[in-house]
Structure 1
Amino acid sequence: MHRRRRTALLFTAAIAAAAPLLTACGNDAHPGAAAVVGDQRITVAQLEDRVDEVRAAQRAAVPDDAQYQQVLARTGSLTRDTLHGMVLDRVLHRAARDAGVTVSRAEIQDMRAGLEEQAGGPEQLETVWLQQYGVAPDRLDDNLRVQLEAQKLAESLGTDTSRPEFWQALSKASDQLDIDLNPRYGDWDVQKSSRVDTKTPWVREITRAQTQQTA
């Protein structure tokens, strides 16, 4: 079980590490959508709601105004990173489904219990996931499901989440899903299964928080 947890964390770390590298085509063919993944739309509203969940959790964890401003400065790419995670979750789920991989509620609970023990308790684990991976407490179980799917997919391929064979499976799923990102958020690199930034300086990313601040 310890090997599973370590490998799962590697996948979380890989998502976090890939985020800054995360750019490509996109168009206005899907108004109101931040991304279209297969036949599923991730709307701008859904993306902003997810970002708001993280910001609310960050604010609750850091009530001091000066410290909170430092958190905002460190997580300025939160919207794009969040969208990257939302898309990659769907890519991973497709790859896992194609490989016949499933994750049970009991497996999620078992993994969470083990991680809580390592972190020193439920609140400590939530804090770690919020600070390191931008996952709001209410989304922790969903994220652990992703980690387990990644681990079990890698095992079914006879590899681990750091190896090319694993990412090749995600690349294949990305290609099948024909992912289309709104250009304000960049583009999706099928080969890397990663969001990348488009070099269009005239396109500004406007988040709900920014809109509220300037209203």
Structure 2
Amino acid sequence: MSAIRPLPRRLDATDDDLSRAHDAARALAAATLGRDPGPMTTAASMSHYVYIGTGVVVKLVDVGGHHRLELEVALAPHLPSGLGAPLLTSGRRALGTCDVRYACFTRMPGASPGVGLPGADTTTARRWSEQAVRWLDDLHTWTPTGTARQLLAESPVHEGFTGRAALIAEIDAILAADRDTSSPVRCSTG
């Protein structure tokens, strides 16, 4: 068996890293479902390795990677109904050449509409927009209690910024880059 090697951040992954993560996700999905998950496709993500199979979505990160997945797992059972996919299992496991933290969720029906809603007619785009507004309203009117409240009250781990000054510098860089684009000013300044 090959030695375990860390998986880099998702954005820095090589084809070999993607293959190793895919193999790990497939093994996790099969163990969770108790059957072959079928073809596993890669979903776009900037933070997690995400793979979608028949009835399951697997998210994983290297054991030494960021901790956002743990927060997602901890909050999953507390979110209002319909705002998150049901969590099937989560944990840590060494698989092949990967040592990962993972979460397996029930795959919800439907398909990603894609950026810019390609191929969507006006009626469909309106329906999706109304659904998104309902979900945002549900989320913003939700009052977390108990464990969820405690988790959300903790200071966030910024994992990429070294403090307030670095965060403000990054925001300033985004604003400077956006000055000549078509984005309305209120989108970047609030």
Identify the TM-score tier after normalising by the shorter chain: under 0.3
Which structure has more RCO (C-alpha within 8 Å, separation ≥ 6)? 1
Q: Report the structure, 1 or 2, having the larger strand content.
A: 2
Q: TM-score, normalised by structure 1?
A: 0.22
Q: TM-score, normalised by structure 2?
A: 0.24
